[in-house]
């Protein structure tokens, strides 16, 4: 027989067992975390009154230090940026940056811009805080071979027999090629596999060391960017004895590197480069920029800031293009002044209308 528990007893038990009701805390007001201040490279450059330009040292025609004076193709673009931003092409501090540390220098804002041999690639676009301007030089990886006995480290050692001269790519089969480690080695490996040439690759992390190994006869050929090969060959006493094979291994769009977190600075760098190209397209030079102002040509008037001040949107003064012309001139002048004396052909770096790759976006 079931025993019934009175309802009142059940209610009392439930009341005693129920947990004490804790009042819910009042909502905590949200604390606003301020967003990080946007990167303002232009303000930083103007505050210190100089541009810090990261460069390499010792590459003739591109970056060279002669005493206290820097000169070269990339150096002139650094000066063009300083002229546009500060009105003074000499307000540049050149800082030597190694290939291994170049991207860290940009990420830490140790330099405002890098101008050295740096191809713009997909994997580099994915590096945090790294951005690129338009190419300033279109290069190609190539192979140079010797046509004479190598220099020896010690004249006391008996000369070693010289290997047979290299006439064609297939002659490199089972023979050593000096190359910089990293991307240059990978490009060379891919090319040799495709060409079915089994050469021995001697990689070094430093390009001067690569050339030193080649000079001392550790290898019969050296592979690097065409401009680097020609620039290095220009310093040799018997340059004609080192010749280039006709094959071209890759296309290398060498571009300035900037911090990707500053859109205005990227635009300034981009349009300074375009200004040197557009000046050549318009026939404006370092010698005639003052006289062409009187031409009844709206494109010239717009470019030189006579009719419209196109640089104001970028934070530049109306005469920024005039400052560039006064300082370094147009793209062709920069090329001819620094690279043509080394025998580096204009080739891919001709204006697009002349069959090259160099072209400005519209100034309007």
Per-residue pLDDT, 94: 94
The DSSP secondary structure of 208-272, one letter per residue, reads: HHHHHHHHTTS-SEEEEEHHHHHHHHTTSTTGGGEEE-S-----EEE--EEETT-HHHHHHHHHH
Per-residue pLDDT, 59: 84
Cα 131–chain centre separation: 9
Residues 57-84: what's their mean pLDDT?
Answer: 90
> Mean pLDDT of all residues in the chain?
83
Per-residue pLDDT, 18: 44
pLDDT tens for 177-211 read 999 888 888 999 899 998 898 888 988 888 888 88
pLDDT value at 133 more than 50: yes
CATH number for the domain whose boundaries are 41-138+253-346: 3.40.190.10
Per-residue pLDDT, 131: 93
Rounded CA gap, 118 and 121, in Å? 9
β-partners of residue 95 are: 54
Per-residue pLDDT, 22: 44
Q: Confidence class of residue 1 from pLDDT cuts 50, 70 and 90?
A: very low
Residues 123-150: what's their mean pLDDT?
Answer: 87
**What's the CATH fold of domain 141-153+163-250?**
D-Maltodextrin-Binding Protein; domain 2 (3.40.190)
41-138+253-346 and 141-153+163-250 agree in CATH topology: yes
β-partners of residue 259 are: 130
Q: Confidence class of residue 163 from pLDDT cuts 50, 70 and 90?
A: low
Per-residue pLDDT, 64: 86
User: Which residue ranges make up each domain of the chain?
Assistant: 41-138+253-346, 141-153+163-250
Q: Confidence class of residue 161 from pLDDT cuts 50, 70 and 90?
A: low
Per-residue pLDDT, 14: 43
Structure-block tokens of residue 173: 């089969």
Per-residue pLDDT, 183: 84
Q: Confidence class of residue 349 from pLDDT cuts 50, 70 and 90?
A: very high
Structure-block tokens of residue 141: 């990886």
pLDDT value at 17 more than 80: no
User: Where is pLDDT greater, at 83 or 300?
Assistant: 83
pLDDT value at 217 more than 50: yes
Cα torsion for 301, 306, 307, 308, to the nearest 10°? 110
Share of the chain above pLDDT 70, in %: 85
Pinpoint the alpha helices (H) of 305-359: 320-327, 331-338
Beta-sheet pairing, 69-71 with 64-66: antiparallel
pLDDT tens for 31-68 read 444 444 568 999 999 999 999 999 987 788 898 888 78
């Amino acid at each position: 027989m079931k025993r019934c528990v009175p309802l009142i007893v059940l209610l009392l038990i439930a009341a005693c067992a129920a947990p004490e009701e804790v009042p819910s805390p009042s909502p905590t007001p949200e604390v606003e975390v301020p967003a990080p201040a946007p990167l303002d490279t232009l303000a930083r450059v103007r505050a210190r009154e100089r541009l810090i330009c990261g460069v390499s040292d010792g590459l003739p025609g591109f970056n060279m230090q002669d005493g206290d004076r820097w000169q070269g193709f990339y150096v002139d673009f650094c000066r063009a940026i300083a002229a546009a931003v500060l009105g003074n092409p000499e307000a540049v501090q050149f800082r030597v940056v190694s290939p291994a540390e170049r991207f860290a220098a940009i990420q830490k804002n140790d330099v405002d811009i890098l101008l050295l041999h740096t191809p713009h690639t997909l994997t580099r676009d994915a590096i945090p805080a790294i951005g690129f301007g338009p190419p300033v030089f279109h290069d190609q990886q190539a192979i140079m071979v010797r046509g004479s006995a190598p220099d020896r480290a010690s004249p006391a050692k008996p000369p070693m027999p010289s290997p047979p001269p290299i006439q064609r790519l297939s002659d490199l089969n089972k023979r050593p090629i000096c190359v910089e480690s990293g991307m240059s080695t990978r490009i060379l490996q891919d090319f040799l596999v495709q060409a079915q040439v089994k050469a021995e690759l001697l990689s070094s992390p430093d390009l001067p060391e690569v050339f030193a190994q080649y000079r001392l006869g550790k290898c019969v050929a050296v592979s690097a960017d065409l401009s680097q090969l020609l620039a290095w060959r220009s310093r040799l006493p018997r340059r004609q004895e080192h010749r280039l094979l006709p094959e071209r291994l890759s296309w290398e769009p060498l571009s300035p590197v900037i911090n990707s977190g500053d859109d205005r600075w990227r635009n300034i760098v981009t349009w300074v480069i375009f200004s040197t190209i557009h000046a050549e397209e318009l026939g404006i030079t370092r010698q005639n920029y003052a006289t062409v102002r009187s031409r009844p040509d709206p494109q010239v008037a717009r470019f030189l800031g006579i009719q419209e001040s196109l640089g104001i949107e970028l934070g530049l003064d109306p005469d920024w293009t005039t400052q560039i012309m006064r300082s370094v001139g147009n793209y062709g002048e920069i090329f001819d002044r620094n690279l043509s004396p080394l025998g580096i052909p204009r080739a891919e770096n001709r204006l697009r209308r002349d069959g090259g790759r160099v072209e400005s976006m519209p100034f309007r």
